[in-house]
Amino acid sequence: MIGKMRDKEKRGDIFIHPKALVESEEVGSGCRVWAFAHIMKGARVGRNCNICDHSFIESGVILGDGVTVKNGVQIYDGVVVEDEVFLGPNMIFTNDRNPRAGYKKDRSEFLPTLVKKGASIGANATIVCGVTIGTYAFVGAGSVVTKDVKDHQIVVGNPARAIGFMCCCGERLEVESLRCQRCGRLFREEEGGLRVCS
C-alpha cells in the first residue's frame, strides 16, 4: 500500500513526505501529507487536504475535501469532518467518555463526533466525543467542547460557552444586526443556529 501511494506521489497528484506514514488507500488527489504524520489503514481523506507534521488520523476517521489538519492534531475513530474544516495546532478529539486502560471497549461503543462544513477549531481545543460542531462554527483556542455547537456559533472556555456568531468569511457578526461588516451577508437566527438570508 505504501508503495502505491508513493507511485501517486511520483505522478504529482498527492505529495507524501518521505517521513510520513500513510497506510490508507483512500487519500484523495491534491493532498499534502507532511513529515511524521500518520494516516492509518481504513481512514478516508478527501481531496486537497493538508495534513501537517505529527498529526494522527486513526482508522474509521472520515475527512472531507479541503480540510486543513495543522501540526499535532489527533483524530480518533468515530470522527467525521466535512469539507473545508480547519483543525488548529494540537487540538484533539476523543471517542470514549469514560476510558479505562484495563477494560478495552469494542469500537462500536465509541461515541461519534461530527464537524460540519466550514467550521474552525482553534489550537489546543479538546472536543469531547458525542457532539456536533455546526456549519461555519468557531471553537476558540484552548476550549473544551462538551456539548453541541450551533451553526455559525462562536464558543470559548472550559467548558465551552457561546459568546456570539461568525460569518462564513470569518468575521464576527454584530449581535443586533446579524449582518457581516466584511462581506455584507445578512443572517437570521433559527433553532440550529444562523442561516444566510442574503
Q: How confident is the model at residue 8 (pLDDT cuts 50, 70, 90)?
A: very low
Burial of 91 (0-12, 13-18, 19+ CB in 10 A): buried
Q: Output the CA torsion 39→42→46→48 (10° steps).
A: 20
> What are the pLDDT digits (tens) for 36-54?
999 999 999 999 999 999 9
Q: What is the model's pLDDT at position 172? A: 96
Mean pLDDT of the chain: 93
User: What is 2-173's CATH topology?
Assistant: UDP N-Acetylglucosamine Acyltransferase; domain 1 (2.160.10)
pLDDT(14) > 90: yes
Residue 173 DSSP SS3: coil
Is the pTM here over 0.75, yes or no? yes
Q: What span, in angstroms and rounded, lies between the C-alpha atoms of 195 and 198?
A: 9
Query: Could you report the per-residue pLDDT of 150-191, keeping only the tens digit for each?
Result: 999 999 999 999 999 999 999 999 988 999 999 999 999 998
What is the DSSP secondary-structure string of 86-127? EE-TT-EE-S-SS--TTS---GGGSPPEEE-TT-EE-TT-EE
Query: What pLDDT score was predicted for residue 175?
Result: 85
1 vs 148, residue with greater confidence:
148
Closest-CA residue to 114 (of 169, 53, 58, 61):
61
Residue 39, phi then psi, degrees to nearest 5: -115, 110
The mean pLDDT value for 83-88 works out to 98
Element (H, E) at 138: strand 138-139
Distance of CA 3 to the CA centre of its chain: 28
Residue 198 has what pLDDT?
A: 73
Beta-carbon count within 10 A of 108 CB = 6
- Are the C-beta atoms of 162 and 139 separated by less than 8 Å? no
Query: Does 1 score more than 70 pLDDT?
Result: no
Lowest mean pLDDT among 2-6, 26-30, 46-50, 158-162: 2-6
Residue 186 corresponds to which cell in the numbers above? 445578512
